[in-house]
Structure 1
């Protein structure tokens, strides 16, 4: 099913690929659209999950409004999609702005969130390296082309949407690690090794999460989902399918987090091919 649904009184483009699996909501990046993730990650995930995506206001096929962009508004929009389209909790996979939105949804409505994957996302505005967006750059030109193909507001409105997007990322978000630490769901933090989100910031996000995992993908940038979709899918699927905390041979951080001493019984240890000491 793909088409417009009323979300908080606004016609919103939603695509629901169906399937009998657990619902999984894809959250696109800023100045992007739902197709960006559906066409890269959607195919690999839809055979396992009920994959759903939507275009936020002013993005893709969904018309803009007069209001400026704010992450809290985007989170409320996403909560409405979860309540009215999904009909309950779902895994959230968010890229860039979509990852920020996922974090905010988990804080506001943890009952609607199962696991989360946040891709190249920052929780504070200072976590992003300021990169000048040249209107003549190939990236900006591609964003404008994709916008013109979809937006009911017409290609001329892209300049206004870009202005609001740049204003947003220069002033928001402003979460603290103390807030991030309230998120109890398992969260996979992924980032490119040459991302506009700094590596120390991505690591601080991972370290603030009680049940976080971290993946730095080599040879990638902020365009990680488009550059390495198969690699990203191969990280996402086992993370979502894992039952309980990761089982590792030598836990350190997770042993501290759980209050344990890090010791494991032989029956809990994964097969390594290494000889075991006799008891």
Structure 2
């Protein structure tokens, strides 16, 4: 079911289903909640799943000025506080993963566990496998045609607002995010970092994200792209649910985790 929440930053559309511990799904850039179609049923069988559509995406209107990951993180904090009303798991894909990282760093009291899929902590030119793709994307070009078809039928701003939103998102990708190492280090929640082995982000960037988090696990899905939740839904869903239910990580020959202080990330180090 869907409804609007009147948040301080923007009137936000969201959907919800299931019961159990709350889980907030954060979609990718230019996407709507339809992107989670292969995950919703499996996750809602275990959790109370809530799916907000961020400002300028789906049924949620645009706001004046540029788009910012930090503004969207503030919107997400307000959503958790006013709609979820208790600490939640965050699962973010692409731009949604960036938002999840920012929320977890700023408000650890609101976050239980985190999964980020194909996420980055630096601007596109610094981490994209093919940075030149940003120079070829235009509002009316073929690269964004799929996203334009998602946007136009549902946006409260009307189909004619698409070029404005496309320009804002592309500018955001070129210049954001800028998450410093000390900000990543403040994330106390256990984080599963997931990526396809042929993702938009370089594997080197993903490895840096994994190593920069105090309590992280890494999953590189073979034979998958940035669309890994659609390409390998059964595996992705299993990895997400296992991470959300997991206690302390215990391995037979820890190296990185052996150096972690006891209690890091809210769990006993292995």
Q: TM-score, normalised by structure 1?
A: 0.87
Residue 250 of structure 2 is matched in structure 1 by 247
Residue 171 of structure 2 is matched in structure 1 by 167
Cα deviations across residues 226-279 of structure 1 (Å, max 9, x unaligned)?
222221111111111112x212122121112247xxxxxxxxx9xxxxxxxxxx
Q: How many Å apart are 1:114 and its aligned residue? A: 0.4
Relative to structure 1, is the Cα distance of residues 256 and 44 closer, same or farther in structure 2, using a 3 angstrom cutoff? Answer: same
Aligned residues: 256
Q: Is the 8 A contact 2:22 2:87 kept in 1?
A: yes
**Is 2:25 the partner of 1:26?**
yes
Cα deviations across residues 106-162 of structure 1 (Å, max 9, x unaligned)?
11111000000011000111222312336443x521111111121111222111111
Matches within 5 A, 1:128-139: 128-129=128-129, 130=131, 131=133, 132-133=136-137, 135-137=140-142
CA RMSD in angstroms comes to: 1.6
Matches within 5 A, 1:1-279: 1-8=1-8, 10-19=10-19, 21-37=20-36, 39-125=37-123, 126-129=126-129, 130=131, 131=133, 132-133=136-137, 135-137=140-142, 140-243=144-247, 245-258=248-261
Q: Name the SS of the counterpart of 1:149 in structure 2.
A: coil
Q: Name the SS of the counterpart of 2:59 in structure 1.
A: coil
- Deviating more after overlay: 108-117 vs 220-229: 220-229
Q: Name the SS of the counterpart of 2:89 in structure 1.
A: strand
5+ residue gaps, structure 1, are: 260-268, 270-279
Q: Name the SS of the counterpart of 2:96 in structure 1.
A: helix
Q: How many Å apart are 1:9 and its aligned residue? A: 5.9
Q: Name the SS of the counterpart of 2:209 in structure 1.
A: helix
Residue 275 of structure 1 is matched in structure 2 by none
Residue 274 of structure 1 is matched in structure 2 by none
Q: Is the 8 A contact 2:9 2:75 kept in 1?
A: no
Q: Name the SS of the counterpart of 1:58 in structure 2.
A: coil
Q: Is the 8 A contact 2:5 2:11 kept in 1?
A: yes
- Take 1:9 and 1:172, find their aligned partners in 2: how far apart are those partners? 19
- Take 2:201 and 2:151, find their aligned partners in 1: how far apart are those partners? 24
Structure having the higher Rg = 1
Q: How many Å apart are 1:18 and its aligned residue? A: 3.9
